[in-house]
Amino acid sequence: MEIIPAIDLIDGKCVRLTQGDYAQKTIYNENPLQVARMFEDAGLRRLHLVDLDGAKAGKVTNWKVLEQVAGKTSLIIDFGGGIKKEDDLAIVFNSGAAMATIGSLAVKQEAVFTQWIQHYGADKFLLGADVKEEQIAVAGWLETTDINILDFITNYQSKGIRQLFCTDVSKDGKLEGPSVTLYEKIIRSFPGIELIASGGVSNMTDLHRLASIGCSGAIVGKAIYEQRITLQELSRFNESNPK
């Protein structure tokens, strides 16, 4: 299982929100490149970069940070937030992202996303599924749909998507532990999918548990910034779990 550290961006700074609430914002570092280099120095290979300004504005906003991190580290970056049009997608790929993270658009504009998959290839996308009681949530988690997570995955697996991350809205940013039961259900139902756990990771025990149930990756954010998990621990974990 691969550890994927997260950097969330507001005004070009590294922040974390609690449960997606912009009013519950903590600034951890004003220099995302410095943070990314710390991850790289610890032997981590991937980065989950989230443009929270872009998500709010409905267009990619913090692409200069992406460009800087991609240009000055060797991290494999997936970038999300505000990707609504093909122009946004072009900016993301041209700025150095290996993958574009697509969430709400996959729910609300399936035809558009399907076209992108066909044009760019499924391996250029990381599908994001925010879930509330096994139903897909969108619009910054304010809106719960009637789409079941298993149906959602079935649909996009048929279109070639192989990698997705799933966030339990009730867990994110609260350091209360990940949704192991939900992840076990997904992994059992879709052996061909690479599932990345997201939300709730609070300590190394959580990560060992996620690895033991078969998650291919785990996104870790707040636990690093709150120093619940050290970069040394993550480095050792990655060394003992080679990808």
Catalytically active residues, by annotation: 8, 130
Please tell me the distance from the alpha carbon of residue 219 to that of residue 77, in angstroms, as a whole number. Answer: 12
Radius of gyration of the chain from Cα atoms?
Answer: 16
Please tell me the distance from the alpha carbon of residue 222 to that of residue 241, in angstroms, as a whole number. Answer: 22
Helix axes 204-213, 231-240, angle to 10 degrees: 20
Per the CB < 8 A criterion, the answer to whether 145 and 135 are in contact is yes
Write the single-letter amino acid at 72.
K
| In the block, residue with structure tokens 């779990």 | 241
Tokens of 179: 């949704």
**Other CB atoms within 10 A of residue 132 CB:** 16
Using CA atoms of 88, 62, 95, 93 in order, give the dihedral in degrees to the nearest 10: -30
